[in-house]
């Protein structure tokens, strides 16, 4: 691979949600802080929404890791694939809470076992937090069952909190009248945005440095312009294109990533379009100014 060629310790643009590569940029910083404050205040339901590939799972893992380091105060449960029946969700939650119970257990006994575990954790002054990734894929009945499960509480405190990470489809699902009670339970919600042009440059620099690179910048400014337009600021697409572009540059024995390398990467990636090689933002801007000036001169002459 290209690691030795570019002086890298590991792949900088892997698609796995490695929290070592987490970049504390504006959108993610706000989401992370909102989550930590909300969880500390035991706010109940929290929702994080973002388009495909915007880094929801990375953020989820980052918060999970932070809470797992604080075992004196938190017990975490994580369900990455919530396409489950109501009972399947309860069983998955019980397993995450280390409750030993038979898969054929009845609903009442299952609910009782979960309740007892939650009360035990509360007596130890520990907060239980259930993280559900890809929550937009949950069946409607399972979402309603989750709401009913959160009714388990004492007179003073909620026995566990829920954080939903989802694509925008979850908002459409929650807009249904049948789920209005769950929608009302969501006390905090946050929308993760795609990266802007400056954000992409910081993102690429950060990931390369984290992977061990310490030489001259590998991506030219013009290459980053193209990367921004081709990826629409979506981190997953940035990773795919950057990884492939590095492979192309390595294959040609070159030490920097140029536009033609990115063009080859885009051509090899479905659903990605890239501007033509003739595209130059600065030249287009200057051309626009020149046209405007000519029009002003011409129109001014008409009225003299």
Please give the full DSSP string across 5-17, using - where no structure is assigned.
HHT-SS-TT-SS-
pLDDT at site 275: 63
Could you tell me the CA-to-CA distances from 159 to 34, 71, 148, 154, 163 in Å, in that order?
Answer: 20, 16, 13, 7, 14
The 45-50 sheet, strands edge to edge: 74-79, 127-132, 160-166, 45-50, 186-192
CA distance 123 to 237: 46
CA distance 163 to 63: 10
Q: Where in the chain is the domain with CATH 3.40.50.300?
A: 26-192
Q: Where in the chain is the domain with CATH 1.10.8.60?
A: 200-282
CA distance 166 to 60: 11
Tens of pLDDT along the chain (304 residues) come to 799 999 999 999 999 999 999 988 878 889 999 999 999 888 789 999 999 999 999 999 999 999 999 999 999 999 999 999 999 999 999 999 999 888 888 989 999 999 999 999 999 999 999 999 999 999 999 999 999 998 887 666 788 999 999 999 999 999 999 999 999 999 999 999 999 999 999 999 999 999 999 989 999 999 999 999 999 999 999 999 999 999 999 999 999 999 999 999 999 998 887 666 554 444 434 434 443 443 333 334 433 4
223 burial via Cβ count (<10 Å: 0-12, 13-18, 19+):
buried
Residue 227: both structure tokens together:
């990367």
Nearest to 234 by CA among 93, 103, 51, 30: 51
pLDDT at site 158: 82
pLDDT at site 277: 54
**At a CB cut-off of 8 Å and minimum separation 6, what does 223 contact?**
245, 257, 258, 259, 261, 262
Nearest to 178 by CA among 145, 149, 144: 144
pLDDT at site 24: 81
Q: Kindly report the pTM of this predicted structure.
A: 0.84
Q: What is the DSSP string of 169-230?
A: HHHHHHTSGGGHHHHHHEEEEEEEPPP-HHHHHHHHHHHHHHTT--SS-SB-HHHHHHHHHH
pLDDT at site 219: 95
CA distance 194 to 231: 10
Considering the four listed CATH numbers 3.30.470.20, 1.10.8.60, 3.40.50.2300, 2.60.40.10, the one that applies to the domain covering 200-282 is 1.10.8.60
Nearest to 71 by CA among 29, 33, 124: 124
- Looking at domain 26-192, its CATH superfamily turns out to be P-loop containing nucleotide triphosphate hydrolases (3.40.50.300)
pLDDT at site 290: 40
């Amino acid at each position: 691979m290209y690691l030795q060629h570019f002086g890298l310790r590991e792949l900088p643009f892997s698609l796995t949600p490695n929290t070592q590569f987490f970049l504390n940029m504006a959108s993610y910083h706000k989401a992370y802080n909102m989550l930590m404050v909300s969880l500390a205040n035991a706010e109940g339901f929290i929702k994080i929404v973002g388009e495909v590939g915007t880094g929801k799972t990375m953020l989820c893992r980052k918060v999970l890791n932070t809470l797992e380091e604080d075992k004196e105060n938190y017990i975490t449960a994580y369900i990455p694939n919530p396409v489950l029946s109501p009972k399947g969700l309860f069983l998955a939650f019980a397993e995450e809470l280390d409750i030993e119970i038979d898969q054929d257990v009845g609903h009442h006994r299952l609910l009782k076992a979960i309740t007892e575990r939650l009360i035990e954790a509360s007596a130890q002054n520990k907060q239980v937090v259930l993280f559900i990734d890809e929550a937009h894929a949950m069946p409607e009945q399972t979402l309603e069952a989750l709401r009913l499960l959160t009714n388990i509480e004492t007179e003073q405190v909620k026995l566990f909190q829920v954080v939903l990470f989802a694509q925008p489809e979850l908002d459409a699902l929650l807009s249904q009248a049948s789920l209005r009670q769950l929608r009302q339970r969501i006390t905090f919600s946050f929308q993760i945005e795609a990266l802007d042009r400056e954000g992409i440059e910081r993102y690429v620099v950060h990931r390369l440095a984290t992977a061990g690179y310490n030489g001259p910048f590998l991506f030219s400014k013009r290459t980053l312009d193209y990367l921004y337009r081709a990826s629409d600021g979506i981190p997953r697409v940035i990773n795919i294109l950057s990884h492939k572009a590095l492979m192309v540059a390595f294959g040609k024995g070159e030490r920097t990533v140029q536009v033609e390398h990115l063009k080859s990467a885009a051509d090899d990636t479905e659903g990605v379009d890239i501007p033509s090689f003739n595209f130059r933002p600065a030249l287009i801007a200057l051309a626009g100014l020149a046209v405007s000036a000519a029009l002003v001169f011409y129109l001014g002459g008409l009225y003299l």
